[in-house]
Amino acid sequence: MILTFPHMGNMYIVVKGLLEYLDLDVVIPPFSSQKTLNLGVKYAPEFACLPLKINLGNLIEARQLGADTIIMAGGVGPCRFGLYAQVEKEILHELGYEYDTLVLEPPDKHLGQFIMRLKKIIGTNSWRKVIEAIKFSYQKACAIDLVERKVQYLRPREKRIGTVDIIYKHVLNTIDNAQSYISLQEATGLGLLKLEQVPVNDDLRIIKIGLIGEIYTLLEPFVNLEIEKELGKLGVEVTRSLYLSEWINSHLLMNYSKREKVKPFVQLAKPYLNYFVGGHGRETIGYAVGFSQEGFHGLIQIAPLTCMPEIVAHSILPKVREECNIPILTIYVDEQSGKAGLVTRLEAFIDLIRRQLENQRRIAK
């Protein structure tokens, strides 16, 4: 049995950590690329959202490397993500790729069956070891986020553009290779130290942008056309509404290690959006309000084309923009998106914000 899973940003490090801790065979699909996308677009339903197409591409590529069992997250609606596993399995079956699937989601009717399947995958490992593995891989996710936040802070400030990302890549590798808590701590600590040594400009006027929107497009650089790097080049410090460890905690671990019980974004989203709309629609609105209260200069919403929850959020955002007085740019991505078009829009948006700030400063004088 050789396991695989679809990509989502740095998620592969966490899942690999989990499965290797349990001594299971795992194949990581090649990083999402144009080839992956082409495969997905070829076989996926035309009007399905982009993540499904890329997931499908990942699974086809993993199959060619010998994987035969899929582990992926699921859901119980109303976002389309909940049916990904079902639809992908059908398509793969038609292509002649027989996969075993384990979908991590609240079981609907067959709790016993779910446990049986889980047992088949974990094999002879004890439940205690599984829990240890989950804890360890969750620590990896937290470490990645810690490093990533530092990277987001440094990108607009570094003297030589690109330095931070070279170190970032290296640190991710060492975190990926860490086999124990000690080596994980070492990797994280050393990584942060290295990042702190990067020469920075102190006299810059940094623009702070909040990145909000749908999780997959937020976390997967191939899909968002490396928007964070591009913004870094424009002197923008980016903060996302979603980080990997938070999603793992809320979606997969059922808030096991949650500090606060009440979700702040729910309160912030009122009175604009008063009910959940699936996916991360309410988070988008809530964080938009939250970021504007924290003094961010602008917001960028990013989502796959036809994403239902984000369309709801998108149509409510103009009111947030008006009442919180913050510029918002919405970007939809699909298989047709090109980087040049994105960069032009980002430049224009950042120019607009800079000019606005300049005017405010002049008036203040």
Partner 1 sequence: MLRIGIPRALNYYKYFSLWKTFFENLGAKVIFSPPTNRAILDQGAKYVVDEACLPVKVYFGHINYLKDKVDYIFAPRLVSVEKKEFSCPKFMGIPDMLVTNIDNLPEVIGPTIDLTKRDNNLWKIIWEVGNIFSKNPGKIAMSWFKGVSDFKKFNQVWLNKSIPREFKITHLDKDPGRLNIAVIGHEYILYDGYLSMNLLEKLAKLNVSVFTSEMIHPKMVNKEVSILPKRIFWNFAKNLLGSAFYFSKQAEISGFINISSFGCGPDAMTSSMIYHHLKTKNNKPILNLTIDEHTGEAGINTRIEAFYDLLKRRVG
Give contact residues for partner 1 (rule: CB under 8 A).
44-49, 74, 76-80, 82-83, 85-87, 90-91, 94, 103, 108-109, 272-279, 281, 305-309, 311-312, 314-316, 318-319, 332
How far apart are the C-alpha atoms of 36 and 62, rounded to whole Å?
10
Distance CA 56, CA 59 (A): 5
Q: What is the nearest approach in angstroms of partner 1 to the Cβ of residue 336? A: 14
Task: Kindly state the smallest distance separating residue 52's Cβ from partner 1, in Å.
Answer: 8
Which is nearer to partner 1, 86 or 293 (by Cβ)? 86
Closer CB to partner 1, 321 or 354, in the complex: 321
- Rounded to a whole number of angstroms, the minimum distance from the CB of residue 119 to partner 1 is 18
Which CB sits closer to partner 1, 14 or 92? Answer: 92
Beta strands in 27-172, from DSSP E residues, in sequence order: 69-73, 100-104
Closest separation between CB of residue 142 and partner 1, Å?
A: 30
Report the residue number, 45 or 66, with the smaller CB distance to partner 1: 45
d(CA 252, CA 105): 8
Query: Which 3 state secondary structure label does DSSP give 191?
Result: helix
Strands (E), 241-320: 298-304
Q: Which is nearer to partner 1, 94 or 203 (CB)?
A: 94
Residue with tokens 């209260």: 293
- Asked if residue 221 has a cis previous peptide bond (ω within 30° of 0), the answer is no
Pairing of strands 207-213, 100-104: unpaired
Shortest separation between residue 106's beta carbon and partner 1, angstroms: 10
Cβ-contact 15, 144 below 8 angstroms: no
